[in-house]
Amino acid sequence: MNFLRRGVYSLSSFLKEKRGWRSLRAPVALHLNAVGDRLIVLPALRALCSLYPHRVTLVGTLGDQSLLYSDLPLKAFHPCPWKVENRVPRFDYRDVVRGISECDLLVALNGWWSDDILELMQCFPEAKTLGHFPEFESHLPLTQWRNAKQQAFELIRRLDRRLRMEDFSQPPLLPEADRALAGQIMAAVPPEARVLALHTEPSGATRRWPVERFQRVLEAFLEQHPEYLVLVVDYHPLEMELERHADRVLLCSGASLGVAMSIVANADLFLGVDSCMLHAADFFRVPAVGLFGPTPPSRWGFRFGPHRYVKVDGPMALIQEGPVLEALQQLARAHVRPRSAAARAEAAASHLLGGAA
């Protein structure tokens, strides 16, 4: 009987605590990171906003409100400059405190820890805290063996176990102007043609694959698939000189992130390194091949769309061209997207407006 009473008391305390977390009025979400990471946490942020509609203040990178978060029911968005010093991301916690008048729940989705986060927490000593490090009241340690999108989402599931990531996994609603410009670019593609989107620019040099190997893979793929064109969505001009089929490789150099992601959303196939465009392809359910070396695809890879990995345990230069070409061919054979102009437009609109593929 005493055991039963202790069990009832524990359950009662647990439910009371959960009701306390759900009744909070001024949650603040903090996420300052690279572009790919900001895409990764999108389902988690959507879930958080579903629990606290029009109550969440998001502290993020300047421009993200229109690029990635325009459909979130936020209370406010506070842009926060940040930089990396001695390999540690830093931000002015005092600026954040000035920008958010109140905070009774701090959710830190960053995959990094710094003293600035601790200083911010100390400015709101009564606030509940949730993050990936032991300093938070409730924390979920990060691991290399679980998908990063799932790890961020599991943090929010600490607040409500009924949440399912699939319910929050729609693509980002990209800016209308960016979608329109990408539409003009895609309109130049013949209706019968298929598009392979290529992204070779990682945020770190260790994730870069030699350009000449991309070149040889493209030449072989285009030789065997005359229906394909290649749109390169690198921001900087790609110095690639194809001996064959150069007229079927189009550079989109200088395109903004929103335009480049919109082009990826309309592609039939994607090939790229571990980068933000790989995650964009995943959200838009574009069949994709990801090249991985030092970073584990178990954490930084795909979660939603059809995909293949080409992975080596070591430098990216160890990746051979044959497996990359074979992975592209497998996806090209297995996944055929609509080709008519009307079907392409309908699919693109569904993707870009946040629908499932």
- The model's pLDDT over 284-316, given as tens digits with 9 standing for 90+, comes to 999 999 999 999 999 999 999 999 999 999 999
Which is more confidently placed, 9 or 227? Answer: 227
pLDDT at 20: 67
Q: What is the pLDDT of residue 242?
A: 82
d(CA 27, CA 49): 9
pLDDT for the residue 19: 60
Q: How many CB atoms lie within 10 A of CB 101?
A: 9
Task: Kindly state the average pLDDT of the residues 54-65.
Answer: 95
In the prediction, which pLDDT does 202 show?
87
pLDDT (tens digit per residue) in 207-259: 999 999 999 999 999 999 999 999 999 999 988 888 889 899 999 999 999 99
What percent of the chain has a predicted confidence (pLDDT) above 70? 89
Count other Cβ atoms within 10 Å, centred on residue 92. 14
SS3 at position 93: helix
For the chain, list the domains and their CATH numbers.
2-168 (3.40.50.2000), 176-352 (3.40.50.2000)
Q: Which of 104, 108, 56 is nearest to 82 (CA)?
A: 108
Residue for token pair 């990209």: 174
Q: Which pLDDT belongs to residue 353?
A: 47
Q: Which residues of 191-223 are buried (b: 16+ CB within 10 A; e: fewer)?
A: eeebbbbbbbbbeeeebbbeeebbbebbbbbbe
What pTM does this model have? Answer: 0.88
Taking phi first (over 0 means left), then psi (-120 to 50 degrees means alpha), and beta for anything else, what does residue 285 get? left
Mean pLDDT of 322-349: 73
Indicate whether 112 pLDDT > 80: yes
pLDDT of 341 over the 90 cut: no
Name, in order, each residue with C-beta under 8 angstroms of 81's C-beta and a sequence gap of 6 or more: 62, 91, 92, 95
Residue with tokens 């013949």: 190
